């Protein structure tokens, strides 16, 4: 609704007093509520807006706080996308709805929870947190140093940096529950027995088998991996990794 008038001392100026009465029922999605609240300001696009112009909105404090968080989230997403553009799938994963407490807020005409849009991002955030906690474990850090210094086979070859990183990432998963190192050791030994029973291992299973055996050897109670069969497998796998890097 708009009321217009011309000041007596400025006949060439048209002043508009604009106000609106907006409904925002509980079933309305937050993006729609946010658009309704900001709609009065959109009508001034063709006019000269006075300095420090603002639109006053009277609404419930709960709805206002939610809209403010949502608009901030939108602004941050826009700025981040400008700085580091991502494809849609990756962009969705980086929506920080959980950090803003908006995971139960619904958006779009499909009435989707923001937490559902960013589920992958949440899982990755949880995974990253567990990795960071495990990275601080003294036993795991000593294992990585041990891998770098390890010499295998008859020629006493060091592991490549890629192999060290691969083994470390695999073994790190045993530390995710923050258990005592004796529990971690038992977990690794059980996993080793499981993989050893697999007749035809995939490449991933082969890497996990080798990494777990190294860890069991490091922690104590396991045999050295200097058998001819294991050495041949290591050489073939490492040569394959080297060949892939050369192709890249």
**pLDDT tens, 179-234?**
888 899 999 999 999 998 998 888 889 999 999 999 999 988 554 544 434 544 55
Half-sphere exposure of 87 (CA within 13 A, CB side): 1
The larger pLDDT score, comparing residue 3 to residue 146, is at 146
Say if pTM beats, i.e. exceeds, 0.85.
Answer: no
User: 143 with 227, same domain?
Assistant: yes
User: 108 with 170, same domain?
Assistant: no
- ∠45-46-48 over CA atoms, to 5°? 90
User: 66 with 90, same domain?
Assistant: yes
The number of beta carbons lying within 10 Å of the beta carbon of residue 194 is: 13
Is residue 44 within 8 A of residue 36, CB to CB? The reply is no
Classify strands 151-152 and 157-158 as parallel, antiparallel or unpaired.
Answer: antiparallel
User: 155 with 196, same domain?
Assistant: yes
User: 151 with 96, same domain?
Assistant: no
User: 90 with 195, same domain?
Assistant: no
- Asked if residue 43 has pLDDT above 90, the reply is no
Does residue 131 belong to any structural domain of this protein?
no
Range of the domain at 110: 2-126
User: 102 with 207, same domain?
Assistant: no
- Asked if residue 34 has pLDDT above 90, the reply is no
Lowest mean pLDDT among 12-16, 104-108, 182-186, 192-196: 104-108
| Total count of domains within the chain | 2
Does residue 148 belong to any structural domain of this protein?
yes
Does residue 32 belong to any structural domain of this protein?
yes
Q: What is the 3-state secondary structure (H, E, C) of 36-58?
A: HHHHHHHCCCCCCCCCCCCCCCC
Does residue 31 belong to any structural domain of this protein?
yes
User: E strand or H helix at 92, and its extent?
Assistant: helix 88-93
């Amino acid at each position: 609704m708009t009321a217009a008038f011309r000041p007596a001392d400025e006949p060439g100026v048209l002043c508009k007093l604009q106000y609106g009465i907006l409904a925002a029922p509980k079933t309305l999605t937050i993006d729609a509520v946010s658009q309704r609240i900001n709609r009065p300001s959109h009508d001034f696009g063709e006019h000269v807006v006075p300095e420090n112009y603002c639109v006053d909105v009277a609404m419930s404090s709960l709805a206002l706080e939610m809209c403010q968080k949502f608009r901030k989230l939108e602004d941050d997403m826009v700025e981040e996308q400008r700085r580091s553009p991502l494809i849609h799938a990756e962009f969705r994963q980086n929506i920080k709805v959980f950090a803003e407490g908006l995971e139960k807020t619904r958006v779009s005409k499909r009435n989707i929870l923001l937490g559902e849009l960013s589920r992958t991002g949440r899982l990755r955030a949880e995974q990253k947190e567990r990795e960071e906690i495990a990275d601080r474990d003294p036993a795991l850090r000593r294992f990585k140093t041990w891998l770098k210094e390890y010499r295998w086979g008859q020629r006493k070859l060091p592991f490549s940096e890629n192999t060290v990183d691969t083994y470390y990432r695999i073994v790190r998963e045993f530390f995710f529950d923050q258990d005592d190192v004796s529990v971690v050791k038992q977990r690794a030994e059980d996993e080793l027995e499981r993989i050893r029973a697999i007749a035809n291992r995939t490449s991933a299973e082969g890497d996990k088998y080798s990494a777990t055996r190294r860890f069991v050897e490091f922690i104590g109670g396991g045999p050295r991996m200097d058998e001819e069969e294991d050495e041949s497998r290591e050489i073939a796998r490492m040569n394959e990794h080297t060949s892939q890097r050369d192709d890249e």
